[in-house]
Amino acid sequence: MNIAAGKPFECCPPFDPAPWNDKAFEWKDKQFVKGTVRTLFYMPIGFGNEMRRLDKKVSGSGATIQENLCLSDRTSKWNMNVYLAVDKPIEGEENLLMNGNFYSRVYEGPFSNAGKWHKDFIETSTLKGIKTGKTYMWYTTCPKCAKKYGKNYIVILAETD
């Protein structure tokens, strides 16, 4: 529920960056369901459709989405995997568990800055003595909600040693 307005959210809840900014944490058996989005030179095509499909599957199974968390893993110019955090496996979908240590930082601004933010994330991690592995991006709100809230937060997180 949108506490400020006393109304249910129309789409994405507001994001609080504090728990994710410059944080190290461990996941043990964190449950995700995997989806796939086509991209054209890294730009997602049909991202909303895939999120609606996954949401329908999650809701239909009696599961819930955890923390509104959806990680993106760009595998090529033409494909992006998405990992939606859920509280239980979703039948008929690819389910996986994430384990390990992670480090995250929050950035704010237009999506076009993602490349600069990723570079900053790697440089900052290195300066802190953090060796990063696989990196994910979490677009915390859709473009419409980012405009509504006046903030467009993106979390970059990576597996660490």
Look up tokens 């507001």; give the residue. 14
Residue 46 within any structural domain of the chain: yes
Residue 3 within any structural domain of the chain: no
Q: Beta-carbon neighbour count of residue 17 at 10 Å? A: 17
Residue 124 within any structural domain of the chain: yes
Which CATH number fits the domain that encloses residue 101? 3.20.80.10
pLDDT tens digits, 108-161: 999 889 999 999 999 999 999 999 999 999 999 988 999 999 999 999 999 998
Give CA–CA dist 112/42, Å, rounded.
Answer: 11
Instruction: Name the percent of the chain lying above pLDDT 90.
Output: 80
Number of structural domains the chain divides into: 1
Structural domain boundaries enclosing 99: 23-160
Residue 90 within any structural domain of the chain: yes
Residue 102 within any structural domain of the chain: yes
pLDDT tens digits, 17-32: 999 999 999 999 999 9
Residue 14 within any structural domain of the chain: no
Residue 7 within any structural domain of the chain: no
Residue 108 within any structural domain of the chain: yes
